[in-house]
Amino acid sequence: MNIIFLGPPGAGKGTQAQKICAALNIPQISTGDMLRRAIAEKTPTGLKAKSYMDAGGLVPDDVIIDIVRDRLQADDCAQGYILDGFPRTVPQAEALEGIAQIDKVVEIAVPDEKLVARISGRRVCLKCGATYHVSMLDGKTTCDACGETLIQRDDDKPETVQNRLVAYHAKTAPLVDFYRARGKLATIDGDGGMEKVFADILEALKA
Binding segment for ligand AMP among 85-93, 129-137, 144-152, 181-189 (CB under 6 A)?
A: 85-93
**Distance, CA of 60 to CA of 24 (rounded, Å):** 31
Nearer to ligand AMP, 53 or 105 (CB): 53
**Distance, CA of 54 to CA of 76 (rounded, Å):** 31
Q: Which residues pair with 188 in a beta bridge?
A: 108
Is 206 annotated in the active site?
no
Nearer to ligand AMP, 27 or 207 (CB): 27
Is 88 annotated in the active site?
yes
Q: How much is the CA Rg of the chain, to the nearest whole Å?
A: 16
Is 118 annotated in the active site?
no
Residue of 36, 104, 118, 122 marked active site: 122
Q: Which positions from 93 through 152 interact with ligand AMP, judged by CB under 6 A?
A: none
Q: What are phi and psi of 18, to 5 degrees?
A: -60, -45
**Distance, CA of 119 to CA of 9 (rounded, Å):** 7
Annotated active-site positions, please?
Answer: 13, 88, 122, 153, 164
* Interface contacts to ligand AMP, rule CB under 6 A: 9, 31-32, 35, 52-53, 56-59, 64, 85-88, 92, 155, 164
